[in-house]
């Protein structure tokens, strides 16, 4: 028993320190670094929950937009912050893809940061211009087989989630469709609406108005189940291509070394804000699913995403240009 006494004392001290920290945290405003432009979907979601998180923590929540380099600029900024819970990173799928395509030790999500919780997840929707003679995904694939390299699709550029999903579809269906790269998600919309490019992929928050007006035709959603606000559109699996899930997500992270007590308190407050009836309804109406998962659950999701898309990048031989 005497040998165990020092260990028990150490554990007690750690528990007391953790409790004291939890009672003291936060002691100043919470800064959330967003590696995206103001007005984008992730930005709007964070600004939407920020007042409720602020009220729960008793400190102001400040949003700091640091876009650029596919999310890497904001990630580097947050990684340099003190690991005390007062600076957070709202990372997204692009940051995870950076870990696959241009891994930078400074800001790898699974090493330089600790997962707190997801904010929202939105599946990609495949659409075509009405001039394309395909009402279903099966018809689009059949058309592509008849016309090798005769159809085009818009992507968000090399290494984007759209390019990776399209490469998976092309490989699984055995078709050749020409990629037309754009600088970012949504930049292709004007040309897609004008019919200058045949097919495209984006989230429902962007495509919804054009699908409902008939300016674009939805073929399938890249999710495990249909989207509640788009019930008539089948999943990729239902349309004949299983295993084609592709989600645009964003979530909260803290610099590695942040005390677990702070991580837990932050997760509780973000989950509570995301569970607010009005906020939840708005997220669902946009075709997304609200987050709020536990840190370990979100961390496992991020690791799975990096592994999944890493295999796609390797198999397709994709390189950043």
pLDDT at 54: 98
> Among the three residues 221, 237, 256, which one is the final residue of a domain in this structure?
221
Of 151, 204, 206, which Cα lies nearest the Cα of 180?
A: 151
Domain membership of residue 243 (yes or no) is no
Given a cut of 60, whether residue 169 has pLDDT beyond it is yes
Of 133, 141, 217, 135, which Cα lies nearest the Cα of 177?
A: 141
- Residue 34 Cα distances to 46, 78, 95, 123, angstroms: 9, 9, 11, 21
The residues pairing with 89 across neighbouring beta strands, listed in sequence order, are 33, 253
> Among the three residues 221, 256, 276, which one is the final residue of a domain in this structure?
221
| pLDDT band of 185, cuts 50, 70, 90 | low
Q: Looking at the structure, do residues 198 and 213 belong to the same domain, yes or no?
A: yes
pLDDT at 264: 98
Domain membership of residue 233 (yes or no) is no
Return d(Cα 237, Cα 26) in angstroms, integer. Answer: 45
Contact between 162 and 185 (Cβ < 8 Å): yes
Q: Looking at the structure, do residues 172 and 30 belong to the same domain, yes or no?
A: no
Domain membership of residue 227 (yes or no) is no
**CA dihedral of 25, 28, 34, 40, whole degrees rounded to 10:** 100
Beta strands in 171-298 (DSSP E): 178-181, 199-202, 217-221, 247-255, 289-290
Domain membership of residue 234 (yes or no) is no
pLDDT at 59: 98
Q: Looking at the structure, do residues 211 and 274 belong to the same domain, yes or no?
A: no
Domain membership of residue 193 (yes or no) is yes
Q: Looking at the structure, do residues 42 and 97 belong to the same domain, yes or no?
A: yes
13 vs 76, residue with greater confidence: 76
The pTM assigned to this predicted structure is 0.86
Domain membership of residue 239 (yes or no) is no
Given a cut of 50, whether residue 271 has pLDDT beyond it is yes
Percentage of residues of the chain with pLDDT beyond 90: 78
For β-strands 30-34 and 87-92, DSSP reports them as: parallel
State the residue range of the domain holding 52: 4-122+248-316
Q: Tell me: the pLDDT tens digits for 45-90? A: 999 999 999 999 999 999 999 998 888 899 999 999 999 999 999 9
> Among the three residues 221, 256, 273, which one is the final residue of a domain in this structure?
221
Find the CATH number of the domain harbouring 49.
3.40.190.150
Find the CATH number of the domain harbouring 134.
3.40.190.10
Among 17-26, 169-178, 185-194, the range with the most confident prediction by mean pLDDT is 169-178
Given a cut of 80, whether residue 11 has pLDDT beyond it is no
Work out the angle between the directed axes of helices 93-101 and 72-79 (0-180°, nearest 10).
90
Q: Looking at the structure, do residues 130 and 275 belong to the same domain, yes or no?
A: no
- Residue 28 Cα distances to 51, 54, 58, 61, 85, angstroms: 15, 11, 9, 9, 10
| Across 287-310, average pLDDT | 96
**CA dihedral of 221, 224, 227, 232, whole degrees rounded to 10:** 60
Q: Looking at the structure, do residues 103 and 159 belong to the same domain, yes or no?
A: no
What is the total count of domains within the chain? 2
Which residue bears the tokens 């009402």?
A: 135
Q: Looking at the structure, do residues 69 and 24 belong to the same domain, yes or no?
A: yes
Q: Looking at the structure, do residues 183 and 38 belong to the same domain, yes or no?
A: no
> How far is C-alpha 45 from the chain's CA centre?
12
Q: Looking at the structure, do residues 254 and 111 belong to the same domain, yes or no?
A: yes
| Across 14-38, average pLDDT | 76
Q: Looking at the structure, do residues 72 and 142 belong to the same domain, yes or no?
A: no
Q: Looking at the structure, do residues 255 and 194 belong to the same domain, yes or no?
A: no
Other residues' Cβ atoms within 10 Å of the Cβ of residue 220: 27
Of 10-14, 256-260, 287-291, which range is least confident? Answer: 10-14
pLDDT at 111: 93
Q: Looking at the structure, do residues 43 and 80 belong to the same domain, yes or no?
A: yes
Domain membership of residue 310 (yes or no) is yes
Other residues' Cβ atoms within 10 Å of the Cβ of residue 149: 10
Domain membership of residue 231 (yes or no) is no
| pLDDT band of 112, cuts 50, 70, 90 | very high
* DSSP line for 138-190: HHHHHHHHHSTT--EEEESSTT-HHHHHHHHHHHHHT---EEEE-SSTTTTHH
pLDDT at 15: 47
């Amino acid at each position: 028993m005497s040998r165990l006494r020092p260990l028990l004392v150490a554990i007690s001290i750690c528990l007391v320190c953790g409790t004291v920290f939890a009672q003291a945290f936060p002691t100043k405003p919470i800064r959330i670094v967003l590696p995206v432009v103001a007005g984008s979907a992730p930005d709007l979601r964070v600004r939407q929950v920020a007042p409720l998180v602020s009220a729960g923590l008793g400190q102001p929540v400040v949003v700091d937009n640091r876009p650029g380099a596919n999310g890497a600029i904001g990630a580097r900024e947050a990684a340099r912050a003190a690991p005390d819970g007062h600076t957070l990173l709202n990372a997204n799928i692009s940051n995870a893809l950076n870990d696959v395509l241009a891994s930078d030790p400074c800001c790898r999500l699974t090493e330089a940061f600790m997962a707190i919780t997801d904010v929202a997840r939105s599946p990609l929707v495949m659409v075509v211009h009405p001039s394309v003679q395909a009402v279903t995904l099966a018809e689009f694939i059949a058309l592509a087989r008849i016309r090798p390299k005769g159809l085009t699709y818009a992507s968000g550029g090399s290494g984007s989630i759209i390019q990776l999903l399209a490469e998976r579809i092309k490989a699984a269906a055995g078709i050749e469709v020409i990629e037309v790269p754009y600088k970012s998600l949504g930049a292709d919309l004007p040309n897609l609406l004008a019919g200058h490019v045949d097919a495209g992929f984006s989230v429902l928050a962007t495509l919804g108005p054009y699908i409902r007006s008939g300016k674009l035709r939805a073929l399938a959603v890249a999710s495990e189940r249909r989207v509640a606000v788009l019930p008539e559109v089948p999943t990729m699996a239902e349309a004949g291509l299983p295993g084609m899930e592709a989600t645009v997500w964003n979530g909260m992270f803290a610099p590695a070394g942040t005390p677990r007590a702070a991580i837990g308190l932050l997760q509780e407050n973000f989950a509570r804000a995301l569970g607010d009836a009005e906020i939840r309804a708005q997220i669902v109406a946009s075709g997304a699913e609200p987050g709020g998962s536990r840190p370990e659950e979100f961390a496992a999701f991020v690791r799975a995403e990096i592994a999944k898309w890493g295999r796609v990048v390797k198999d397709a031989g994709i390189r950043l240009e």
